[in-house]
Amino acid sequence: MKKRAATIKRKTKETDITIKLTIDGTGKSKIDTGIGMLDHMLELFAFHGLFDLEIKAKGDLRVDIHHTNEDIGIVLGEALKKALGDKKGIRRFGSAAVPMEDAVATVAADISGRGFFKEIVREPVLQPEAKDEVGYSFAHANHFFEAFAKRMGVNLNINLSSSNPDLHTNLEPVFKALGRALDEATQIDPRRKCIPSTKGVID
């Protein structure tokens, strides 16, 4: 099988990002975004998705983390989309549930070509919203996933059942479940000889 890999570079006045991705990897990662929480979450995503992933990002963190966080989502989504090529033979759908302490994250993904993500559905909703020491929050995670889903062309639904106020405890199972769901969705089904859509194409 042809190696499914991609290198994407994106440079703007706000960020300078390079991502190298191999879909059929072993879970190795080397990630430096300047945002510690995001680094850790993407390492978990790669490890549990068995993706080989390198990310080097420089952004205007002196302003805030907004642009860097969003643009990494954009470039990672683009890298996965490019690495998948025409998507011939992929399973297309994937889902996973991952627990951590009292939190359980469930992720369902459809690589349909139609990017969709609304927000992490949390039950119960935590007030005030959990944040880490540098200000990473569910709002930032939602913004990352929105950018990622739209650029990759994946319908992404994330549900989180948790009464834990700790952001790390809540986001860790989300990123692990995302990795596992996309690992399943990107795998080749030996029975499928065509693109997995009755239309015959996935954009």
Q: What is the pTM of this model?
A: 0.94
Tell how far CA 132 is from the center of its chain: 19
Query: How far is 131 from 126, CA to CA, in rounded Å?
Result: 11
According to DSSP, residue 137 is labeled B
**pLDDT for the residue 112:** 97
According to DSSP, residue 190 is labeled T
pLDDT tens, per residue, the chain with 203 residues: 689 999 999 999 999 999 999 999 999 999 999 999 999 999 999 999 999 999 999 999 888 899 999 999 999 999 999 999 999 999 999 999 999 999 999 999 999 999 999 999 988 865 545 555 457 899 999 999 999 999 999 999 999 999 888 899 999 999 999 999 999 999 999 999 999 999 999 98
**pLDDT for the residue 165:** 86
The residue type of 195 is I
State yes or no: cis peptide before 124, omega within 30 of 0: yes
H helices within the chain, ranges in order? Answer: 36-49, 66-84, 138-152, 167-186
Q: Are strands 121-123 and 155-161 parallel, antiparallel or unpaired?
A: parallel
Tokens 């025409």 sit on residue: 86
> How would you write 26-66 as a 3-class SS string?
CCCEEEECCCHHHHHHHHHHHHHHCCEEEEEEEECCCCCCH
User: Are the CB atoms for 49 and 177 separated by under 8 Å?
Assistant: no
What spatial distance separates the first Cα and last Cα of the chain, rounded to whole Å? Answer: 21
3-state helix, strand, coil split of the chain in percent (to 5) is 35, 30, 40
